[in-house]
Amino acid sequence: MDEKKIDQHLKNVPIQMIELVENLNTKAKWAVYVALLENKQMYFNQIKDEFGANATEIDRILKSLNAGGLIFKHAKKFADIKNDNRTYYKPSLLGEMFYDSTFNLVIPKKVTTPCVPISERTNQMSSMVELEPTLGYLGGYLSPNYLGDPGMINENRMESIGET
């Protein structure tokens, strides 16, 4: 591929975003990441035992997740940082937020708030709605299971983008 074109398209993408996604490029990395999210914190040997993996493989995965900013290595004392038996790993705030926001984009939460019928929307809202269906929904389709009747607009969603 043309490196200049690649750079042109990526010039406004923060490197942290690219590194975060690049560091989740295998199922093994995803599994360790999710195990840490589920357990809140784990020692190196707990992770190794959980997955029945060798130390080198787990070390490589943890370093990758750490490099992406998804997890942090912690120790009670600074002198213990090199000792795998005395250090543990925790998801970072970025790691928690990335998982939650990505999950909610792929599988939106069910909305149970009242909706406004299309016939009662203002002209301003009508022009916005034409662009809205692809926001956060797989395939760009509004599902009746998530927004109520497809002919309705959720009042809370409109308030969140400044339209009421």
* Tens-digit pLDDT profile for residues 138-154: 344 333 444 443 444 44
Q: Which residues pair with 42 in a beta bridge?
A: 89
85-104 mean pLDDT: 89
63-72 mean pLDDT: 93
- Rounded-to-5 percentages of helix, strand, coil across the chain: 55, 10, 30
98 and 50: one domain? yes
* Tens-digit pLDDT profile for residues 16-32: 888 888 889 999 999 99
Percent of the chain with pLDDT over 70: 62
Q: Say which amino acid occupies 23.
A: N
| CATH label of the domain that carries residue 15 | 1.10.10.10
Average pLDDT, whole number, for the chain?
75
Q: Count up the domains in the chain and report the number.
A: 2
Pair of tokens at residue 96: 């928690």
118 and 100: one domain? no
pLDDT grade for 120, boundaries at 50, 70 and 90: low
Range of the domain at 53: 3-105
Q: Which residues pair with 91 in a beta bridge?
A: 71
Pair of tokens at residue 34: 């999710």
